[in-house]
Amino acid sequence: MERSVKILCINQFFYPDSFGGVERVAYETMRRLAMRGHEIHLVGQRTKPDTPDVEDLFGLTVHRYGRADSRRYFGGRTRDALHRSGRVMSRLLDSTSFDIVMPHHYFPYYAYLRLPRAKVTPELMTFHASFWQELKLEGAERSIGKPLESLLFGRLARRTETSCLKRADRVVVLSDFSREQLVSYYPFAREKVIKIPGGVDLEKFHPAPDRAAVRRSLGLRPEGPMLFTARRLVPRMGVENLLMALAGVRSSFPEVLLVIAGRGRMEGELQRLVAAEELADNVKFVGFVDDSDLVSYYQAADLFVLPSLAFEGFGMVTLEALACGTPAVGTPIGATPEILERLAPQLLLAGTEPHAIRRGITAMLEWLSDADAVGRLRALCRSYVEARYGWNHAVDALEATMDELLAEGGRHG
């Protein structure tokens, strides 16, 4: 792209205030666009107390809206995104003329499109998942009170998603699975969709020369096979099935250790399952893990496991593991087959059930006992990600799409 442009990036949660796949995609792409000379203003929800309304972070100008304690009241974060974000964006539009708008979340984007000044600027939306569908799935799994919240906000989410997708000039998806999901829910958006896969920070996520040393630095035993997964501890992430599978894996590999990073409402239930299956010596919960330690856990592991039961629109954690030279196995859900089958078909598990996860992990650990084989596979994992999933590929494609939109002007549906 030959000229510098002013970009308004619209978010709900954003990195580094919040950690998650959506947050990371927005951060990585916006930071790199800023490095190429573009002026980026990122609007996002306040999730930490005592953070300023406006702040320069990593070359981006961040504008925060809402209250850090909004999660404590019914629908608080959603209401903040729908109402308080609009006030911040209205003031921003009064002072800055943007060339392009790049939303990553529905509710604050919906607030934007209702503003009188938001009429002509081209809009390039990224579809990460259907919030309506996620609420529908997760609401059914929650305790009394939560299903009602999910039902009410699920209906609102569907109306909001429909409005946003009709308005956007282009809709970016990160995978073929996300494209299929989007078009199945919203057929009218078919002609707007472009696929731009996400990426990995190849400098941050890289192999370690001495995995045993990394394990010792994490307080883990250096010997024995180590599995690693990083998940929100909610039902659709499949960690319960992984733990049940581990009981069978242990019969072939008694010293196997599964390290689980992440938090969520199932944490207590999963710990009770570990106790019931007598897996205390084989499982370690490490809770929330920041970026620097996350790299170390990837590097230390023999095998990364993604046991998802639903969605998985992209699978950034899978790519981060591969970038660290760590083979990854995953269930045939969402975008996981798209990533793993092209690398090595045996990395794709046969199903989501515990017995399928057990068979796949056991077979991989047996194969990885061959030092020459594991060396070749680790090198292949890294080179595969370098060739296909560096962030520069994604940013090049974003700039090309921005050029097209700027040439066309805003169509808005």
Same domain (yes/no): 26, 159: yes
Per-residue pLDDT band at 138 (split at 50, 70, 90):
low
Please compute the mean of the pLDDT values over residues 61-65 and round it to a whole number: 97
DSSP 346: G
Number of neighbouring beta carbons within 10 Å of residue 136: 16
Tell me: the pLDDT tens digits for 87-115?
999 999 999 999 999 999 999 999 999 99
Same domain (yes/no): 396, 362: no
Same domain (yes/no): 35, 131: yes
Helix then strand then coil, in percent of the chain rounded to 5, is 50, 15, 35
Same domain (yes/no): 54, 142: yes
Q: Among residues 309, 311, 130, which one has the least CA distance to residue 236?
A: 309
Residue 143 predicted with pLDDT over 90 = no
Averaged confidence pLDDT in the chain = 91
Question: What is the domain count for the chain?
Answer: 2
Q: Check residue 385 and give its pLDDT.
A: 97
Residue 144 predicted with pLDDT over 70 = no
| Residue 253 or 312, more confident | 253
Matching residue, tokens 């304690």: 69
DSSP 82: I
H helical segments located in 302-370 = 316-323, 336-343, 354-367
Q: Is 413 part of a structural domain of the chain?
A: no
Tell me: the pLDDT tens digits for 300-316?
999 999 999 988 888 89
Same domain (yes/no): 185, 219: no
| Residue 135 or 206, more confident | 206
Tokens of 379: 């090198």
- For the chain, give the percent of residues with pLDDT over 70: 94
> What are the backbone angles phi and psi of residue 193, rounded to the nearest 5°?
-80, 135
Q: Check residue 152 and give its pLDDT.
A: 63
Of 2-6, 128-132, 244-248, highest mean pLDDT: 244-248
Tokens of 129: 């998942």
Q: Is 138 part of a structural domain of the chain?
A: yes
Angle at 177 between CA 171 and CA 182, to 5 degrees: 40
Q: Is 66 part of a structural domain of the chain?
A: yes
Per-residue pLDDT band at 129 (split at 50, 70, 90):
confident
Q: Check residue 117 and give its pLDDT.
A: 78
Same domain (yes/no): 299, 330: yes
Please compute the mean of the pLDDT values over residues 320-329 and round it to a whole number: 98
| Residue 60 or 2, more confident | 60
Per-residue pLDDT band at 290 (split at 50, 70, 90):
confident
Tokens of 7: 């970009």
Q: Check residue 120 and give its pLDDT.
A: 76
Q: Check residue 311 and give its pLDDT.
A: 80
Residues in the chain: 413
Same domain (yes/no): 404, 352: no
Q: Check residue 410 and give its pLDDT.
A: 60
Residue 207 predicted with pLDDT over 60 = yes
Residue 14 predicted with pLDDT over 70 = yes
Contact 115, 96 (CB under 8 A): no
Q: Check residue 137 and give its pLDDT.
A: 65
DSSP notation for 11-32: -SS-TTTS-SHHHHHHHHHHHH
Tell me: the pLDDT tens digits for 277-288?
999 999 999 999
Q: List the CATH number of the domain containing 140.
A: 3.40.50.2000
Please compute the mean of the pLDDT values over residues 216-236 and round it to a whole number: 94
Q: Which helix (H) or strand (E) segment is 168 a member of?
A: none
Residue 140 predicted with pLDDT over 50 = no
d(CA 297, CA 115): 45
Contact 86, 43 (CB under 8 A): no
Same domain (yes/no): 384, 394: no
Residue 360 predicted with pLDDT over 60 = yes
d(CA 190, CA 193): 6
Same domain (yes/no): 98, 184: yes
Q: Is 1 part of a structural domain of the chain?
A: no
Residue 48 predicted with pLDDT over 80 = yes
- Strands 60-65 and 54-57 come out as antiparallel
Question: 140 lies in which domain range?
Answer: 6-199+390-408
d(CA 222, CA 312): 31
Residue 325 predicted with pLDDT over 70 = yes
